[in-house]
Amino acid sequence: MTAPGTVAEVATRVLKPDVAALDAAARTLAAGGLVAFPTETVYGLGADAGNGEAIARLYAAKGRPAFNPLIAHLSSVAAARKLARFDTAAERLAAAFWPGPLTLVLPKAADCPVAPLATAGLDSVAVRLPQHPVAQDLLRAFGGPVVAPSANRSGHVSPTTAAHVLTDLGGRIDLIVDGGATPVGLESTIVACLGEAFGKPALLRPGGVPRAAIEEVLRAPLTDASALRGQTAPRAPGMLASHYAPNTRLRLEATHVDPGDALLAFGPALAEHAADAVKVLNLSARGDLIEAAANLFSHLRALDAARAETIAVMPIPHHGLGEAINDRLRRAATPHLSPPKKHYGRGS
Ligand code: TXA
Ligand code: MG
């Protein structure tokens, strides 16, 4: 007998994204299966957005502690309009950044086809048009909205390669479409445009589109999520403090390396100290935040595997993608509620 919450072992196929693979992936989704696929941000674990049972299996495969709301992925703005209501701000943001690493949380359309389980019973729905050609091909082949959280075990760092997905979810999902490493490397920026009652558009999660670029399009500053949280707040459990958690403790803003530390460097490494480190990986030796974002999750995974005492993380500037990088690092550094050794902390 399987214990509640356990997942039946399945053979997970890994396929290169040719026509036959995309066809198989679309058919798997239509049959209620689970398919991991690359987007420009991170790998997503897709399920048919209209199929509640498939979505329940998706939560089980991830080992999500709760039914956090999911992002519905679409292949066109017209398709997104069937799910959600766009105000002026949302229209502007969609025109400027779609397809791309921006998710909009919007009021649900009256006949929104997304299963209530995927929106955790909220009146809002998160929508995004990914830019990655494999994601676009898959969405077109499937022909409907696909909900897709990051394709990692709950609480683990997001996967930026098919190998990461296989490590976390092998045996628990049907298919992985291997489209290589994801170019952005950080999840999408999430902005809520919930209309007048909620005030200005709010930044729910920093991500692949920098805050400044969004504020330039809106010609106004974004409200902070905390301002929304007090109100009839859209719950964004992805904002849990401890979320992207490796097993190894992180020490942020590190200016030295203790013996036994692993070092996550940025820019010129702490050359005189690096020799003491168990392992050193540089997010970007030339100090490029875009390159750093693309490397963040795979470097965290690799350093976590080095079983160091602590991962020392050099300071990362806060501008551009630095805001999202620092957000993920802060969450990764937040202590787990329970001993982390066996299982990862909470999150999505
Ligand atoms: O880049 C990305 O966004 C990736 C790729 C696969 O598209 N997806 C991703 O999904 O990061 P996930 O499930 O790991 O994170 C989605 C976040 C969660 O923090 C969730 O709470 C929030 O979106 N969210 C979804 N629907 C929401 C809603 N209606 N209101 C507030 N937050 C919502
Ligand atoms: Mg996630």
- Going by C-alpha positions, the residue among 158, 179, 154 that lies closest to residue 39 is 179
**pTM of the full predicted structure?**
0.86
Determine the Cα–Cα distance for residues 189 and 254; give it in Å rounded to an integer.
Answer: 27
Please give the distance, rounded to the nearest whole angstrom, from the Cα atom of residue 82 to the centre of ligand 2: 25
Contact in structure between 33 and 54 (CB atoms under 8 Å): yes
Residue by residue, pLDDT tens for the chain (348 residues) are 444 456 778 999 999 999 999 999 999 999 999 999 999 999 999 999 999 889 988 988 998 766 689 999 999 999 999 999 999 999 999 999 999 999 999 999 999 999 988 988 788 999 999 999 999 999 999 999 999 999 999 888 999 999 999 999 999 999 999 999 999 999 999 999 998 766 789 999 999 999 999 999 999 999 987 665 444 444 444 444 555 678 899 999 998 999 999 999 999 876 666 778 999 999 999 999 999 999 998 899 999 999 999 999 999 999 999 999 999 899 888 865 544 433 333 345
Any ligand 1 atom below 6 A from CB of 122: yes
Residues with CB under 5 A from ligand 2 (ion): 150, 348
Please give the pLDDT value at position 80: 98
Contact in structure between 26 and 46 (CB atoms under 8 Å): no
Please give the pLDDT value at position 339: 42
Please give the distance, rounded to the nearest whole angstrom, from the Cα atom of residue 31 to the centre of ligand 1: 24
Across the beta sheet with 223-224, what order do the strands follow? 13-15, 175-177, 35-38, 43-48, 146-147, 71-73, 124-128, 102-107, 189-192, 202-205, 223-224
Please give the pLDDT value at position 246: 84
- Going by C-alpha positions, the residue among 197, 159, 204, 198 that lies closest to residue 179 is 159
How many helices (H) and strands (E) would you count in the chain? 11, 15
Atom of ligand 1 nearest to the CA of 41: 1
**Cα torsion through 27, 106, 93, 139, rounded to 10:** 0
Please give the pLDDT value at position 268: 83
Determine the Cα–Cα distance for residues 31 and 58; give it in Å rounded to an integer.
Answer: 13
Any ligand 1 atom below 6 A from CB of 190: yes
